[in-house]
């Protein structure tokens, strides 16, 4: 059973059409949940870390939220430059600093 499941696998939006990306996790003790952005041919780029249920963080058009079972990455009024693959990862308590990643969500924003 996957510890981290992201949905949907792919999402196509019109510019300005807000939506949310989901990341559900099943670790027993969460030390941190991480969101990364990955552009084609590049390494993942850090976006956010969330540590406890109820926490929220924002950066430009992105807002990440966390509950005890899942995290959402909300994209408000997206632009074509927001097109990328968004990766979610969890760090389990007691697991050193290892991150376990989901398979990612590919977002395409049409002008």
Partner 1 sequence: NAGVTQTPKFQVLKTGQSMTLQCAQDMNHNSMYWYRQDPGMGLRLIYYSASEGTTDKGEVPNGYNVSRLNKREFSLRLESAAPSQTSVYFCASTIRAPYGYTFGSGTRLTVV
Judged by the rule CB under 8 A, the positions of this chain that interact with partner 1 are 31-32, 34, 36, 41-46, 49, 51, 87, 89, 91, 95-104
CB of 17 to partner 1, least distance (A): 26
SS3 77: coil
Nearer of residues 40 and 111 to partner 1, judged by Cβ: 40
Of 87 and 107, CB closest to partner 1 = 87
Q: Is the CB of residue 33 less than 8 Å from the CB of residue 25? A: yes
Residues 49, 87, 75: CA angle, nearest 5 degrees: 75
What gap in Å lies between CA 74 and CA 47, rounded to an integer? Answer: 13
Q: Select 14 or 96, whichever has its Cβ closest to partner 1.
A: 96
């Amino acid at each position: 059973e996957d510890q981290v499941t992201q949905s949907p696998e792919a999402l196509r939006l019109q510019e300005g059409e807000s939506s949310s990306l989901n990341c559900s996790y099943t670790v027993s003790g969460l030390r941190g949940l991480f969101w990364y952005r990955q552009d084609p041919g590049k390494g993942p780029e850090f976006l956010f870390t969330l540590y406890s249920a109820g926490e929220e963080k924002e950066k430009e058009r992105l807002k990440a939220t966390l509950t005890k079972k899942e995290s959402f990455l909300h994209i408000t009024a997206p632009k074509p430059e927001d097109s990328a693959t968004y990766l979610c990862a969890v760090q389990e308590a007691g697991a050193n600093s290892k991150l376990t990643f989901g398979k990612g969500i590919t977002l395409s924003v049409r002008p």
